[in-house]
Amino acid sequence: MDASAALSSTLFLDRVGEVVVSLNSCGLSWNPTAIDSDASSCCRMAFQMEVETEIKFSNVYAVEFTGLGSINERSSSGRSFLLNSNCELYRFVVHGFQKAKNGPSPCVLSAYTFGHRDLQACQTWVDQINACIQMQVERPKNLLVFVHPRCGKGNGLRTWQTVAPMFSRAKVMTKVTVTRRAGHAFDILKSSTDRDLSSFDGVVSVGGDGLFNEVLNGILSSRHKAPYPPDPTVLNTPNNSDELRHHVSEETIYSRNILNNDSDIFSETSEKCDDCEPLLPALQSTESGISKLITSEKEPHCTDHNSALIFPNDWFRLGIIPAGSTDAIVISTTGIRDPVTSALHIILGRRISLDVAQVVRWKTTPTSLDTPLVHYAASFAGYGFYGDVVKESEKYRWMGPSRYDFTGTKVFLEHRSYEAEVGFLAAKEDDTIKGMPSGMADACHSLLPRRNLSKEVCRIECSICNGTTNSSHIVTNGGTSSPIVHGEGVRWLRSKGRFLSVGAAVISCRNERAPDGLVADAHLSDGFLHLILVKDCPRPFYLWHLTKLTRKGADPLDFSFVEHHKTNLFTFVANHDGSVWNLDGELLQACQVTVRACRGLVNLFAAGPEV
Ligand SMILES: Nc1ncnc2c1ncn2[C@@H]1O[C@H](COP(=O)(O)OP(=O)(O)OP(=O)(O)O)[C@@H](O)[C@H]1O
């Protein structure tokens, strides 16, 4: 039978009574037979106001046959629901959800139990509804699930037990691993063969941002086939064309394409001004690489479950069911921190693409001889204050999530700043570029708020992330997607000095403490990082900046001691190992890194932020 063919018959609806149920391509609707035949339109309206009378298939996540049992009827006289339980019928349950139309709100589960005397009739309804919901092909069938039992307040397992029945009802198979230690999920994913992983439609983490970061790294570490971006010495050293030639990779070619759009390539923002022009001729010598790059753009992503699993990948998605201390990734990608809502996004097969920051560590300490190490971050990469808070908080894990308040205060009072040099590609017209190094000689008045920018916030079906507004990208070989600014021109800028923190937000990083996040107008998939440089400043001003983070509508970046740059590539060099990097809450000791945005590198089971 055609799945979308209309079907109509008389059934019993639990707590209502006999109803005429109709099915069409959009969903199910029903009306009581009593009201249909003899009630006034007034009576019908009253009924419709009291009782739901339809559900769309997009709001149905499962249908289940539940066998013989009783169905309760509604009192024929009163408006209240009297449960006159009585007859035994064959029953099926349509599981759906309801959601407030506006604003971020959790999904509330609903269930409609229908009954019929005839088993076959009941089975036909179940098959028909199932066929309709299966037509939504993006729904996953098989998922790998990692549960962090000790995340947040130790609720990881309970959170999974709350939502697990939803997956069974929806006939989504789950292979569940309860992690036994940090790194457990990473090890499993990294050592899994592509063939093993390809038998799943995605990986779900039940935990906080830290577990998700582990999953992300476990999946990407051997499957994101991209050459390293250039190291800081290459990008920051002028007149160094030989070195540049040596280091040129497909990824730097994309930089060349950016640079070719503008003759005014590099400008200097620090106290010292160098002429960096030799980068251009060096990169021009790589024509063969470019053609390879452009060819690979047309190659399809992996959709065959038996072939190599490479990223970006249209079909394989990651999911998060929030149970952690902060859950910034879930809040920034769905607008709400609710395990049931996130489980529904996964079951219904929602999809958004997500930028990922690739962090290459060149040096752990100034004197170490390292081989480059690659890490990935989905939400944030930060040094200084952000690294120190996480490092310190490890000692107070027993305090639970409140350890961040305690260590945040402690680190704030210590007021440590770090000498460093940051270099970055910046869009020429980027009006967020501000606060160029003014040094500590700044008069106090220049520390005051000074910008008034209109912000285009990322939402569901965001035109910027979908590429219909303002931004575009090219795909490099190996299926690597990289951001690029077309036609706008880009400069290589540098900022050198003492920083309280250096941070790069991939997404807004909204959380319950910071309702607008660190960067309210960051987008999930525009190919940019928001580089936030907080220069050394008097403690009260830093406190003012931190306080603004906690207030909705306040702009925490609106200070002259805060530089905010939209970029897709930056480098960081410190000649000390005073602080550490914080990548999605995970620690990385590094004094030399290159960080770049990989546009849409992974897909997430989510619909985008409701704000
Ligand atoms: N079973 C486990 N025991 C201890 N640590 C684990 C376990 N499973 C995962 N981890 C690690 O715990 C860290 C924190 O995980 P997660 O972010 O999910 O929870 P959280 O409560 O939000 O913690 P945090 O706020 O510190 O990030 C991560 O580094 C993760 O790798």
CA of 182 from ligand 1 middle (Å) equals: 6
**Residue reference for tokens 């289940």:** 64
**Average pLDDT over every residue of 562-566:** 93
Would you place residue 86 in the very low, low, confident or very high pLDDT band (cuts 50, 70, 90)?
Answer: low
Helix or strand (DSSP H, E) at 499:
strand 490-505
CA atoms within 13 A on the CB side of 69: 12
- Give me the residues paired with residue 595 across strands: 359, 570
* Residue burial 582-611, b: 16+ Cβ < 10 Å; e: rest: bbbbbebebbbbbbbbbbbbbbbbbbbbbb
- Close Cβ partners of 87 (under 8 Å, ≥ 6 residues apart): 12, 70, 71
Q: In this predicted structure, what is the pLDDT of residue 491? A: 74
Q: Does residue 337 have its Cβ closer than 6 Å to ligand 1?
A: no
CA atoms within 13 A on the CB side of 342: 29
Taking the centre of ligand 1 as the mean of its atom positions, its distance from the CA of residue 181, in whole angstroms, is 8
Q: Which residues contact 578 (CB under 8 A, 6 or more apart)?
A: 416, 418
305 vs 611: CA distance, rounded Å: 36
**Ligand 1 and 327: CB distance under 6 A:** no
User: What is the distance between the alpha carbons of residues 529 and 526, in angstroms, rounded to a whole number?
Assistant: 9
Q: What span, in angstroms and rounded, lies between the C-alpha atoms of 467 and 189?
A: 31
For the chain, the average pLDDT equals: 79
The closest alpha carbon to 211, from 330, 307, 43, belongs to 330
Q: Determine whether 242 is an active site residue.
A: no
Q: Bigger pLDDT: 590 or 398?
A: 590
Q: Give distance in angstroms: CA of 399 to centre of ligand 1.
A: 14
- Mean pLDDT, residues 70-98 taken together: 71
Contact criterion met (CB below 8 Å) for 245 and 458: no
* Ligand 1 close to Cβ of residue 526 (< 6 A): no
Amino acid 559: pLDDT: 92
Which position among 14, 201, 209, 521 bears the catalytic label? Answer: 209
Report residue 498 as tokens: 């003492």
Per-residue pLDDT band at 39 (split at 50, 70, 90): low
What residue owns the CA closest to ligand 1's atom 5? 182
| Confidence at residue 28, expressed as pLDDT on a 0 to 100 scale | 92
pLDDT classification of 436: cutoffs 50, 70, 90: very low
Supply the pLDDT for residue 76.
Answer: 54
| pLDDT for the residue 50 | 61
Query: Which residue CA neighbors atom 3 of ligand 1 most closely?
Result: 181
Structure confidence at residue 17 (pLDDT): 84
Report how far residue 451's alpha carbon sits from residue 172's, in angstroms, rounded to the nearest whole number: 49
Alpha-carbon span 455 to 42, nearest angstrom? 48
184 or 83, which is more confident: 184
| Closest atom, ligand 1, to C-alpha of 327 | 22
Does the CB atom of residue 213 touch ligand 1 within 6 A? no
Our answer on whether the CB atom of 210 is closer than 6 Å to any ligand 1 atom is yes
Closest CA to 607 of 519, 506, 525, 528: 525
Residue 209 CA: which ligand 1 atom is closest?
Answer: 17
| 436, two tokens | 């160029």
Local confidence band at 403 (pLDDT 50, 70, 90 cut-offs): confident
Cα of 1 from ligand 1 centre, angstroms: 49
As a whole number, mean pLDDT of residues 199-208 equals 97
d(CA 507, CA 354): 9
Answer yes or no: is the C-beta of 116 below 6 A from any ligand 1 atom: no
pLDDT of residue 164: 98
Domains of the chain: 7-134 (2.30.29.30), 142-223+304-329 (3.40.50.10330), 354-599 (2.60.200.40)
Residue among 145, 147, 151 whose CB has most ligand 1 atoms within 8 A, to mutate: 151
Least confident of 475-479, 480-484, 583-587: 475-479
Percent of the chain with pLDDT over 70: 74
Best residue for ligand 1 mutational test, from 146, 147, 148, 394 (most atoms within 8 Å of Cβ): 148
- Between 199 and 290, where is the model more confident? 199
**Distance (Å, rounded) from C-alpha 520 to C-alpha 515?**
9
- Compute CA distances 602 → 2, 436, 539, 598, whole Å: 35, 33, 39, 9
Sign of CA dihedral 512, 181, 359, 475: negative
Q: Return the closest-CA partner of residue 513 out of 477, 551, 542, 545.
A: 551
Q: How many Cβ atoms sit within 10 Å of the Cβ of residue 98?
A: 12
Whole-angstrom CA distances from 559 to 412, 431, 501 are 18, 15, 14
Cβ of 179 less than 6 Å from ligand 1: yes
396 lines ligand 1 (CB under 6 A): no
SS3 label, residue 530: strand
Handedness of CA 156, 159, 161, 166 (dihedral sign): negative
pLDDT tens-place string over residues 326-351:
899 999 999 999 999 999 999 999 99
User: Which residue CA neighbors atom 18 of ligand 1 most closely?
Assistant: 208
491: which strand partners? 426
Q: Which of 585, 595, 598, 531 is nearest to 361 (CA)?
A: 595
pLDDT at 601 (0 to 100): 95
272 lines ligand 1 (CB under 6 A): no
CB-count burial class (<10 Å; 0-12, 13-18, 19+) for 242? exposed
Please state whether the peptide bond connecting residue 278 to the residue before it is cis, i.e. omega within 30 degrees of 0. Answer: no
Query: pLDDT-derived band of residue 428, with 50, 70 and 90 as boundaries?
Result: low
pLDDT at 270: 36
Bigger pLDDT: 7 vs 304? 7
- The reported pLDDT for the residue numbered 276 is 30
Please tell me if the CB atom of residue 586 comes closer than 6 angstroms to any atom of ligand 1: yes
Section 574-582 average pLDDT: 95
Which pairs from 72-80 meet CB under 8 Å and 24+ separation?
Answer: 72/14, 72/15, 73/12, 73/15, 73/16, 73/17, 74/15, 74/16, 74/17, 74/32, 76/17, 76/34, 79/46, 79/50
Residue 91 pairs in a beta bridge with: 67, 115
Q: pLDDT value at position 195?
A: 92
Q: What is the CA radius of gyration of the chain?
A: 28
Give pLDDT tens digits for 254-296: 333 333 333 333 333 333 333 332 222 222 222 222 222 222 3
Out of 211, 213, 330, 375, mutate this one to test ligand 1's pocket (max ligand atoms within 8 Å of CB): namely 211
| Per-residue pLDDT band at 402 (split at 50, 70, 90) | confident
Nearest atom of ligand 1 to the alpha carbon of 584: 27
Nearest alpha carbon, ligand 1 atom 2: 181
| Higher per-residue pLDDT: 385 or 225 | 385
**What phi and psi, each to the nearest 5 degrees, are found at residue 299?**
-70, 135
Q: What is the Å distance from ligand 1's center to 215 Cα? A: 12
- Segment 96-106 shows an average pLDDT of 81
Q: What's the one-letter identity of residue 14?
A: D
CA of 340 to the centre of ligand 1 (A): 21
Q: Is 344 helix (H, G, I), strand (E, B) or coil?
A: helix
- Residues 528 and 546: their CA atoms lie apart, in Å, by 23
- Can you give the pLDDT at residue 252? 35
Q: How far apart are CA 525 and CA 363, in angstroms?
A: 29
Of all atoms in ligand 1, which is nearest to the CA of residue 214?
Answer: 31
Check whether 137 has a pLDDT greater than 80: no
User: Does 536 sit in the ligand 1 pocket, CB within 6 Å?
Assistant: no
Please give the Cα distance from 549 to 555 (Å, whole number): 7
* Residues of the chain above pLDDT 90, percent: 52
Q: What pLDDT was estimated at residue 577? A: 93
Residue of minimum CA distance from atom 17 in ligand 1: 210
| 401 Cα to the center of ligand 1, angstroms | 11
Is the predicted pLDDT of residue 186 greater than 60, yes or no? Answer: yes
pTM for this predicted structure: 0.81
Q: Is the CB of 208 under 6 A from ligand 1?
A: yes
pLDDT-based confidence at residue 597 (cuts at 50, 70, 90) = very high
Average pLDDT over residues 288-317: 54
SS3 content of the chain, % helix, strand, coil (to 5): 30, 30, 40
CA of 605 to the centre of ligand 1 (A): 21
